[in-house]
């Protein structure tokens, strides 16, 4: 089945630790994105990548890092520098130049 797979679904992290969220897509999409959703709030763009080995900061990139070594993979690392990391993280992808983006199922990150 074609789609976007995020893992893990639920993740607990101790303060001061880095954690990496995985995102894989088999839709052959060029562009990939990471969004964050906080309870009762909208979606905020963290990072995006329109082509392999290139990525751009979104609105709230501080405390996060990404890589895009393969077209199908766009992992997000939440570093210890992120002040409020507890949130629901959404990965998405799209065909380059096309407005409609498609989302994965999301990953819950809780800092304990």
Partner 1 sequence: DQQVKQNSPSLSVQEGRISILNCDYTNSMFDYFLWYKKYPAEGPTFLISISSIKDKNEDGRFTVFLNKSAKHLSLHIVPSQPGDSAVYFCAASVAGNMLTFGGGTRLMVKP
Q: How far is the CB of 16 from partner 1 (least distance, A)?
A: 27
Binding part of the chain for partner 1, among 14-22, 39-47, 62-70, 76-84 by CB under 8 A, reads: 39-47
C-beta separation of 74 from 49 below 8 A: yes
- Reference 89, options 101, 103, 70, 100; nearest CA is 103
Closer residue to partner 1 in complex, CB, 11/102? 102
Q: Using the rule CB under 8 A, is 63 a contact of partner 1?
A: no
100 makes contact with partner 1 (CB under 8 A): yes
Among 58, 61, 73, 79, binds partner 1 (CB under 8 A): 58
Residues 92, 93, 109, 111: which binds partner 1 (CB under 8 A)?
A: 92
Closest to 91 (Cα-Cα) out of 32, 19, 42, 16: 32
Q: Does 85 bind partner 1 (CB under 8 A)?
A: no
- Report the candidate in 74, 69, 81 with the shortest Cα–Cα distance to residue 48: 74
Beta strands in 15-100 (DSSP E): 19-25, 31-37, 43-51, 54-57, 64-66, 76-78, 87-94
The binding site for partner 1 (CB under 8 A) comprises 4, 6, 33, 35, 40-45, 48, 58, 88, 90, 92, 97-106, 108
């Amino acid at each position: 089945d074609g789609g976007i797979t995020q893992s893990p679904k639920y993740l607990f992290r101790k303060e001061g630790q880095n954690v990496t969220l995985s995102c894989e897509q088999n839709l052959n999409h060029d562009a990939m994105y990471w969004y964050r959703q906080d309870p009762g709030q909208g979606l905020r763009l963290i990072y995006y990548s329109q082509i392999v080995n290139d990525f751009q900061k979104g609105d709230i990139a501080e405390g996060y890092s990404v890589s895009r070594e393969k077209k199908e993979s766009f992992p997000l690392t939440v570093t210890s520098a992120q002040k409020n990391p507890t949130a629901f993280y959404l990965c998405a992808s799209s065909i380059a130049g096309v407005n409609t983006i498609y989302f994965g199922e999301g990953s819950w990150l809780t800092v304990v």
